[in-house]
Structure 1
Amino acid sequence: MFFAGIDLHKQSITVCVVDKDRNVLKRKRLMCANEVAIVAFFKELGCFRAVVEATASHEWFVKLIESLADKVLLAHPGKLRIIAESTQKSDRLDAQILAEFLALGMIPTSYRPTPRQRDHRCLVRQRNTVQRRITSVKNRIRRILSNHNADRRDLFTKAGQQFVRTYDLSAADRFSMNQLIAEWEFFCQQLKAANQALKEFANTAPIRERHQRELLQSIPGVGFVTTEVVLSEIADIDRFDSQKQVVAYAGLAPGQRESAGKSKELHIEKSGSRHLRWALVESAWQLVYRVPRWKTIYERLKKRLKSKKAIVAIARRLLGMMVAIMKSGEPFSATHQPA
């Protein structure tokens, strides 16, 4: 059995092959555009295992060689710190370290979503991108009107848009405003199309995924958008052994610093998906407004942590409850309490 470490870049890959005793047998630099040469190189290895870092563009490469390999592992970039912190960093060294860690069985692996999970995540993130663009355009429209002391709460209703279109602006401001309105209308159409694509995707869900949607939407304040974000970003709830693991994955776990027997709680780690954190915080606010028991918990936390930290703490507990509900298969009820 040979062990291949691959340092993957946009234009090229650097491969280092070692044996079980970590003796370097081969080194090779191949161009990503030449897939025939890549396949030919790995075919010549015979029985081998490979490892590549889970970068944004790894999927095409894994698909290309996985039928040739005994096993292809995705290395977790954040956990494989020895490469990132190396003072003698190079593509050759990175590939060799990956190969040696693979031979030792010490690769910290990263989860590889299924094709359906990847498609789901793609649709959800595209929808969120469109939503952020809508928010950005609306803020710029408000900025122009604020310069004229003409901003109003109902700007994006029918009456508000009539006001925007007829308000007396300078030629430059009117030109900018007309373009921004056109942008806003375009992105609103894109958001409608993205929502429709997500609904059609949900309609093709297997039974278990469909049931998980129903479970999540039984929670007050958790609607269509939050449900899709949580399901797509977490992917497979069974890959986590505990609520703490999911919270850490979402980047909602507070960091800690300990010295001389004293510990201090730091800010949340923010190591996971920002889409997931955003959705959980938004849903946490809704849960606090709708469920008295959760509002009481929030008010108590607010006195000690202030509002922003308090709502993050509620989001963290909400995620824990979501995990418990999905694992148990029981919908939300009034007896559910913050974890």
Structure 2
Amino acid sequence: MRYVGIDLHKERITVCVVDQDRNVRQTRKFPCADPARIEAFFAALGPFEAVVEATASYEWLLGRIEPLARRVVLAHPGKLRVIAESTRKSDKLDARVLAEFLALDMNPQAYRPTPRQREHRALVRHRQFLMKERTQVRVKVRRILSDSNADRRDLFARGGRDHIAAVPLSDSDRFIVDQMLIQLSSFEAQLAELRTRLRQFATAASAAEQRHRQVLQSVTGVGEVTTEVVLAELGDILASGPPLGLLAGDLPGVEAASGGTPSDRGRGTSAAGGAGGVAPQRLGVSRALGHGGLSRSSTTTTTTTMTTIIHMN
């Protein structure tokens, strides 16, 4: 059996192959632009296991080598301190460390989203991108109108366009505002199209996902946007059950839903009595929800709801 550590970058990969005794058999470099050559190398290895860190672009590589490997491990880069804190850091050394850890079965594994979850996240995060771009356009229009003392709260509600058209502006400001309004209309159309796409995506959901979606949407304050963000970013946690209960209990404002006191949760101890590590997990949940654009209040409300989902699993 060969154990292959892969140091993946945007333009190249460095591969280190070791045996069961962690003796280096070969080290190679390949350009990412030549995937056929990479695939041919792995096909000629014979029985092997491989490990690669969970970088932003690992999926294309796993798709190439997974059918050839006995096992492929996705390593958690944040937990590989040997690599992160090394003073002799190089691509060759990083690949060797990964290979040696794999031979010892010591690589901390990262979660790999399912194909459906990756699609869901792509759609939800694209919506957040469009919403941010739309907000920037609105802010710029408001700033220009403020120079003429013409900004108002309902500027982008019904009748707002008529008000904007009636405001006396300089030729340059009118030109800029007209272009901003064209962009705004484009963003609105894209968001409407994306909303339809997400609803179509939901029709192909599994029974468990449909059940989670129904529970989330049944709660006051949790709408369509929040529901899709939670299912896309935390779908794996929803399916896991108890750990999310700990996260829910550790978030401010949801003590009643999970029981316990703030001091209990502050110690990071689990309901089963073991040492928790809850705070880092809580931070991960907050960051995950943030990818979809949820506010802190929405995160708190949603986490309370997720406690209900756990009891259904």
TM-score of the pair, normalised by structure 2 = 0.84
Q: CA deviation at 1:273?
A: 2.2
User: Are the aligned partners of 1:280 and 1:319 in contact in 2 as well (CA < 8 Å)?
Assistant: no
Partner Cα separation in structure 2 for residue 132 and residue 122 of structure 1: 15
Q: What is the aligned counterpart of 1:322 among 297, 301, 305?
A: 305
- 1:279 paired to 2:294: yes
The aligned counterpart of 2:218 is 218
Paired residue secondary structure (2:111): coil
Seen in structure 2, the aligned counterparts of structure 1 residues 211 and 240 have a Cα distance that, compared at 3 Å, is closer
Q: CA deviation at 1:324?
A: 2.1
Q: What amino acid is the match of 1:169?
A: L
Q: CA deviation at 1:218?
A: 1.4
User: Are the aligned partners of 1:255 and 1:269 in contact in 2 as well (CA < 8 Å)?
Assistant: no
- 5+ residue gaps in structure 1? 257-264, 285-314, 331-339
Partner Cα separation in structure 1 for residue 215 and residue 295 of structure 2: 16
Matched ranges for 1:118-267 at <5 A: 118-236=118-236, 237-239=238-240, 241-243=242-244, 246=247
User: Are the aligned partners of 1:137 and 1:184 in contact in 2 as well (CA < 8 Å)?
Assistant: yes
Seen in structure 2, the aligned counterparts of structure 1 residues 275 and 320 have a Cα distance that, compared at 3 Å, is closer
Q: CA deviation at 1:280?
A: 5.4
Partner Cα separation in structure 2 for residue 241 and residue 18 of structure 1: 38
Q: CA deviation at 1:322?
A: 3.0
Partner Cα separation in structure 1 for residue 283 and residue 118 of structure 2: 24
Q: CA deviation at 1:81?
A: 2.7
Q: CA deviation at 1:71?
A: 0.7
Q: CA deviation at 1:275?
A: 2.9
User: Are the aligned partners of 2:229 and 2:289 in contact in 1 as well (CA < 8 Å)?
Assistant: no
Paired residue secondary structure (1:52): strand
Q: What amino acid is the match of 1:39?
A: E
User: Are the aligned partners of 1:125 and 1:275 in contact in 2 as well (CA < 8 Å)?
Assistant: no
User: Are the aligned partners of 2:248 and 2:307 in contact in 1 as well (CA < 8 Å)?
Assistant: no
Seen in structure 2, the aligned counterparts of structure 1 residues 39 and 79 have a Cα distance that, compared at 3 Å, is same
Seen in structure 2, the aligned counterparts of structure 1 residues 92 and 245 have a Cα distance that, compared at 3 Å, is farther
| Superposition misfits of 4+ residues, deviation over 4 angstroms | 244-248, 268-271
Query: C-alpha deviations, 1:50-78, integer Å up to 9, x for none?
Result: 11111111101001000110111111122
Seen in structure 2, the aligned counterparts of structure 1 residues 247 and 55 have a Cα distance that, compared at 3 Å, is farther
Percent of aligned positions that are identical: 47
Seen in structure 2, the aligned counterparts of structure 1 residues 208 and 126 have a Cα distance that, compared at 3 Å, is same
Q: CA deviation at 1:19?
A: 1.4
Matched ranges for 1:43-122 at <5 A: 43-122=43-122
Paired residue secondary structure (1:158): coil
User: Are the aligned partners of 2:226 and 2:294 in contact in 1 as well (CA < 8 Å)?
Assistant: yes
How many residues align? The count is 285
Partner Cα separation in structure 1 for residue 65 and residue 5 of structure 2: 13
Q: CA deviation at 1:241?
A: 4.1
Q: What amino acid is the match of 1:272?
A: R
Paired residue secondary structure (1:13): strand
